Amino acid sequence: MKNIFCSLLLLIIGTTTFAQSSSELLVLSAIIKDKTIPNAEVIFQKNGENSITKYTNSNGIASIPEQFRNDSEVIVIIKKEGYSPLITKCLCDGLTYAISPTMQELDGMRIVLSWDNSPQDIDSHLSYAGGYVCYYKKESSHAILDVDDTDGYGPETITITKKEQGKKYVYAVHNFSDKESINNSNLSNVSRAKVFIYIGNTLIKTYTMPTGLKGTIWIPFLIDEMGNIVNVGDFKNATSWEGVSTILRNYRFDGDQSVVTSSDKNESTIINRKGEEEYHAGHLENAVFLYQSAIELNYKNGQAYSNLGLAFQKLNKEAEALWANRKAIDLASGNKAHVVRASSYYNIAKIYEKKQQWQDALDNYKSAKNNREHRAYNEGIARMTEKLR
């Protein structure tokens, strides 16, 4: 039994739009959208009772024995040649299960996301040096988004066909349905999302959505340069896939003690200036790309983060702008560190002022003033003080 548990991949998705009743369950493929699995062996077990075996029909549906319906103590095992065995305790009625084909690649990995019926559209994102995979970019170097589900339950699957040594991979779940609602708790409290990490014929790690947290992005884990799975568990905010991409880039460099070469620092400075030129010319998307490229070369380039935050702000991507400006504050160093911090606090204050969050705006205007004296900071403080009277 222990070996079966180690070799399963379970994706409990929920009641689906397929035509099965509450006394039936549905079996799908984890990597081909809406592909049903016929003739799969479904075994129902419960301590003290005889097991019963059913088989899915041509539509992937199996009936649940009456004595095992709506019972959390029932063990369900699903077997199909070429797929990993699945086993779980469940309330089976009306649920859908997705089983994963056995991976043949030695360096391969499969990451599968499932959730409830709300929010309907939740996306998987994977960031690594030289590649990015999500609904917007479904294929990259040695990785592919097999399934993009937009109407609840999932599965949504990313397959890494070859994990590249020496590269860090960062995975995130993004609440696309509520992307404009910053710091909402739907992802945490409503989705009941789970993420399964699968290698070969083994489910090696499962992450269950924590509750009581706010944010449109959940970052459950990253894979370090040696292939180790490292728990993260952070919640962030982004309103677009570009915003998620920017945040995940940062995680790829967190804790990285590698030395940035002088040539990379110089090149980063040059590219950042090119970004500033594009920004002043009104080419904001180009500016964002250049700022991100500068950060790729020098992940400690606080000025590039500050510029990136301002560009995001102009693009009305406030969550991304907040993140970039806060990163700029964190990285500010050298004889102009106070200037970078002041301008970043000012940018944050403007975002909060636009959202009519007067106290947050006031706090950040004051932080800007504490770093550098400027008329705009004093004017901001005066405006917010008046609003709070």
Strands (E) located in the chain: 24-29, 41-46, 49-55, 61-63, 74-79, 86-90, 96-99, 109-114, 122-128, 131-133, 139-140, 143-147, 156-160, 169-175, 194-199, 202-208, 217-223, 229-236
Q: Is the pLDDT of residue 379 over 90?
A: yes
What pLDDT score was predicted for residue 215?
Answer: 94
What pLDDT score was predicted for residue 55?
Answer: 95
Return the ∠ at Cα 287 (arms to 269 and 308), rounded to 5°: 70
Per-residue pLDDT of 135-187, as tens digits, reads 998 988 889 898 777 776 678 889 998 888 778 999 999 999 999 888 899 99
What pLDDT score was predicted for residue 166?
Answer: 78
The answer to whether the beta carbons of residues 252 and 170 sit under 8 Å apart is yes
How does residue 268 score in pLDDT terms, banded at 50, 70 and 90?
Answer: very high
CATH T-level assignment (fold) for domain 109-253: Lipoxygenase-1 (2.60.60)
What pLDDT score was predicted for residue 228?
Answer: 74
Q: Is the pLDDT of residue 250 over 80?
A: yes
Q: Is the pLDDT of residue 46 over 90?
A: no
What pLDDT score was predicted for residue 7?
Answer: 35
Better-predicted residue by pLDDT, 9 or 245: 245
Q: According to CATH, where is 2.60.60.30 located in the chain?
A: 109-253
Q: Is the pLDDT of residue 240 over 50?
A: yes
Q: Can you read off the two tokens belonging to residue 365?
A: 């205007």
How does residue 16 score in pLDDT terms, banded at 50, 70 and 90?
Answer: very low
Per-residue pLDDT of 281-305, as tens digits, reads 999 988 888 888 888 788 778 888 8
Share of the chain above pLDDT 90, in %: 34
What pLDDT score was predicted for residue 24?
Answer: 86
CATH T-level assignment (fold) for domain 2-99: Immunoglobulin-like (2.60.40)
pTM (global) more than 0.75: no
What is the homologous superfamily of the domain 262-387 according to CATH? Answer: Tetratricopeptide repeat domain (1.25.40.10)
User: How far is it, in rounded angstroms, from Cα 161 to Cα 196?
Assistant: 16
User: How far is it, in rounded angstroms, from Cα 333 to Cα 378?
Assistant: 24
Q: Is the pLDDT of residue 364 over 60?
A: yes
Q: Can you read off the two tokens belonging to residue 180?
A: 């404009």
How does residue 201 score in pLDDT terms, banded at 50, 70 and 90?
Answer: low
With 0-12 / 13-18 / 19 or more C-beta atoms within 10 angstroms meaning exposed / middle / buried, residue 72 is exposed
What pLDDT score was predicted for residue 132?
Answer: 93
Q: Is the pLDDT of residue 258 over 70?
A: no
Tell me the pLDDT of the chain averaged across its residues: 83
How does residue 11 score in pLDDT terms, banded at 50, 70 and 90?
Answer: very low
Q: According to CATH, where is 2.60.40 located in the chain?
A: 2-99
The answer to whether the beta carbons of residues 61 and 24 sit under 8 Å apart is yes
How does residue 212 score in pLDDT terms, banded at 50, 70 and 90?
Answer: very high
